[in-house]
Structure formats: C-alpha cells, structure tokens
Amino acid sequence: MSSAQPPGAVFAMDPVHLPLLFPEPLLARLKQTADIDTALVLRDFTAPGAAAALARAEVLITGWGCPHLGAELLAAAPRLRAVLHAAGSVRSLVGEACWERGVTVSSAVAANALPVAEYTLAMILLAGKDAFAQRERFRATHARPSPAETAATGNLGRRVGVIGASRVGRRLLELLRPFDFEVLLHDPYVTPDEATALGARALPLEDLLRRSDIVSLHAPDIPETFRMLDRGRLALIRDRGMLINTSRGALVDPVALSDELISGRLHAVLDVTEPEPLPVGSPLYALPNVFLTPHIAGSLGNELRRLGVTVVDELERLAAGLPPVHEVRRTDLVRVA
C-alpha cells in the first residue's frame, strides 16, 4: 500500500466508541498517516456522505456497530484494500466478498485479550480465597469465619483448569506463572510439550474437568465448541467447583448450568451467558454461589485506547508497505472466534 500519497481511510462503527478508541493525540497520529475525515463515522453505508467516502477508501477502520462488510460494501468501495478492526472477532463482520477480493484484515483481538485475562486472574484468586461465599456469610453474620469454615480455603496448590489456549488463554497462563497453582490445559491444537512450555499440563477435557478446583473457559465460539460443557461434562466438575466463563455463553448448556447452580453443587463467575443478558426473572441473579457481571471483562473505558493504538500501528505498517502484525486470514476462522 506504500505510495507517495497517504491512503484514504474511513471510520465505520458506532460513533459513541470513537473518542475512547482514538483520543485526540492518537487521532492526530492517525491523521499523519491517512487521508481521513475524522468527523465522518459511518454506521450506515447509505448515510449522506458515505458514497463519496467509500469510493476513495483504501482502508476501512471498523469497530463495534459497523455494518456487515459484504458484496454491497465492496461494490461501493472499489479501492478497498484493508480492514483494520478496532475490536475483537471479525467472524460475523467480514463477508465472503472481502475474502474473495483479497482484502487484508487485521484485528485488535490480541489487545482486547489482555483485560479479559486480567479479569480472569482476579476471579481465580478471589475464588480460591472463597471471597464470594465469604462475602455472603459476612453480610448475614457480621462475624469472622471459624478455622473450620476456612479449612478448605486458599490458593496454595489450587488446581486451575484452562480450556482453550486462545490469546486470552495464553495470556492467562502467563499471568498464572507467579502463583502456586497447578495449571491444567485442554486444547486440541496444543501438544503436551507446547502445554509444558506454556506452564501447564495438557489433559483431555474430561480429565481436566474432574481434576480442577477452578475451570476457566477460553475456547472460541465456533460450531465445534457449541455446548462443549453439556450436562454430562458439567457433572464431572467436583462438588463446590468454580466455573469461570469469559468466552461466550453458547459454549455451556444453559439449562444444565442453571440446574447445577440452583442446586448449589457448583459455583460460577459468569461474565457471559446465554441468553445475554439473562431474562429479568432468572434465578441466577440472586444465587449466592453465582457472581454475574454484564460482559465487562473485555476492553472498557481507558482500555479502549489500547485497541486504537493497535489499529494506528497497523495502519502505519501498511502505509510503509509492511504486512500487518495482527492479520486475520480466512483459514484462521476454522478455529478462532
């Protein structure tokens, strides 16, 4: 894409996200690299001004709220050569027409993985200290727990099972290294030697579920992982075991999970659910053994700037004629979200 002229670029996303993704200093850096109207942010490719902008666009900078990039978009943007996504998955965003034209696609999914892994680490540490249950007890009794009540509490030697060596999963494995955990990993694409290098012991899924005190789910939402934690596999998790899900609700059978949680046999930290959000009458909102958060593990607030930095870095590389660092290839979609 290197040329004497800066590449024409267009924002395509919900405009509400732009100020946090690209604060003024970062926006200035972007404008030094691309010919872009920073006041034009397309959420509708038929909006006023969209046709002229798309006709000259070589780069589309996308984010949450961007319309699907299908054949109609390609027809309106004959010069389009790259899509730089200031968010995570591009699976539902990028249509077949983009791949067939050979449009370069890059995603900030690696940057978005960092806060998810940090959130998960925090929840693992709190779960090991039984913090969620102790909070409920303390509210009710206003008294410190007895030694008998905390005999099984603590993070020393706690077994943590990580399902999926995704970007989030791998970052989590790095974050777990300083702690005295026994870390188990299930990922069909990771060999035992690779798992060891990541600081974990590779196990089949069923064995990991049986042996773990805390199970953290980081597999991609693809057809092969749909309901991977079904009723039978959930039943393998030991009594009072903790399930943490920051991936997608579709990976867990929601009825079976609700049954396990209502019974009190399992505990859970759920940042994602199915459906999302849960209906108002769901019992999971009130269960003392369930810690629900509204899909906050990914980038929020000032963390969004990290996604914008990733996009500007990629744009500068493309403008210099270099390949992107975080390219997503069509073949990747078989096993990534």
Catalytic (active-site) positions: 248, 276, 295
Nearest to 187 by CA among 176, 175, 196: 196
Q: Please compute, for residue 263, the number of CA atoms within 13 A of its CA located in the half-sphere on the CB side.
A: 13
Token pair 């990039």 is found at 69
DSSP strand pairing (159-163 vs 59-62) = unpaired
181: helix, strand or coil: coil
244: helix, strand or coil: strand
CA 266 to the chain's CA centroid: 24
Buried b (16+ CB within 10 A) or exposed e, 99-114: beeebbbbbbbbbbbb
Q: Let me know the angle formed at the C-alpha of 40 by 5 and 91, rounded to the nearest 5 degrees.
A: 85
